[in-house]
Amino acid sequence: MRPISGSPLLSLTGNLSPSMSPIRKLAFVINEDKPGAPELAKALQTQAEAVGVSVVASAAYPIAEDYLEGCDACCVIGGDGTLLGVVRSAARHQVPIIGVNRGSLGFLTTFSAEEARNQFGALLQGEFNVAQRSLLDCSTGPGQHDLALNDVLIKAEANSRLVRLEVFADDELVTEYYCDGMIFSTPTGSTAYNLSAGGPLIHPAAEVIAMTPICPHTLSNRSIIFRNSVRIKVYDRTNAPLLVAMDGQRNLVTCDTSPVEISVSPHRLLLAQRRGYEHFSVVRTKLKWSGGYADHSA
């Protein structure tokens, strides 16, 4: 069932071919702190086992590195934060994630609890689309390496301090930033911290990196969009400890002799989406955009 390297390129919708094989082994990751998550997980597990699907379930966080090995899909029941904790393992094992939202905003956990209950039989038969989402690869020195689905944040370890960061793109100097920090975002993460910091919304199928300074001391410093093949290096000119946070969950230790290096990873996250999923419909709903509907059918 799992796509292999060399899968077809994304279409504008970001979806691969919807022809998927039935799920034979399904992993559950459950955030038991979310209201209704344990009960929903139990109901979906029972439904899967009733049709002969092998099931494993875990409420541990983070999941063990080999937890998803041999699985055809992973059903994450919680919020976007729960899903972000599964990203690295899912990407490395190329296991599609079925995200069921029991949190608040839910950009990544695209199925509601009701949709999951009503459509789970079809999902087990492989009746869903799979979007490939790009990941950022970040290194801060020897042995310090991680993947991020949303963003890489660079800021001072001491919250009250400003940082002076010198940014190079493919060894060409961009500029030196004096700011509260810097966000490097994927298209998927453009609706997260990047958006809050005044960065652009980016369609998830776009193959780019967004760099957004946080409260820069030069008014002309704005977001920059880089192509997906760029290799970015960030040098700390503050001579103070930096915090490098991956998806707001994991921190990398910086090395005085090494820059922070960021690029698009060759790995992709496989994200299950219901048939008929529309990206901007989700954006309008989640961001509470208003405006009239014009009927252009006439």
pLDDT in tens, 76-117: 999 999 999 999 999 999 999 999 999 777 789 889 999 999
CA-to-CA dists, residue 32 to 45, 63, 108, 159, 250, angstroms:
15, 14, 18, 31, 21
Both tokens of 75, joined, read 């059903």
Question: Where do the H-state alpha helices sit in the chain?
Answer: 37-50, 80-84, 87-93, 113-124, 193-196, 279-286
The pLDDT-based confidence of 155 (bands split at 50, 70, 90) is: very high
Partners of 214 in beta bridges: 181
Domains observed in the chain: 25-128+274-286 (3.40.50.10330), 135-267 (2.60.200.30)
State percent of the chain over pLDDT 90.
Answer: 74
Cis status, amide bond into 62, omega within 30 of 0: yes
Mean pLDDT (whole number) for 31-60 = 96
d(CA 246, CA 58): 23
- Answer yes or no: is pLDDT of 285 > 90: no
Closest CA to 72 of 132, 124, 25: 25
Q: What is the pLDDT of residue 192?
A: 94
For 203-229, the pLDDT digits (tens) are: 999 999 999 999 999 988 999 999 999
The pLDDT-based confidence of 296 (bands split at 50, 70, 90) is: low
- Which are the catalytic amino acids? 80
Mean pLDDT (whole number) for 235-255 = 92
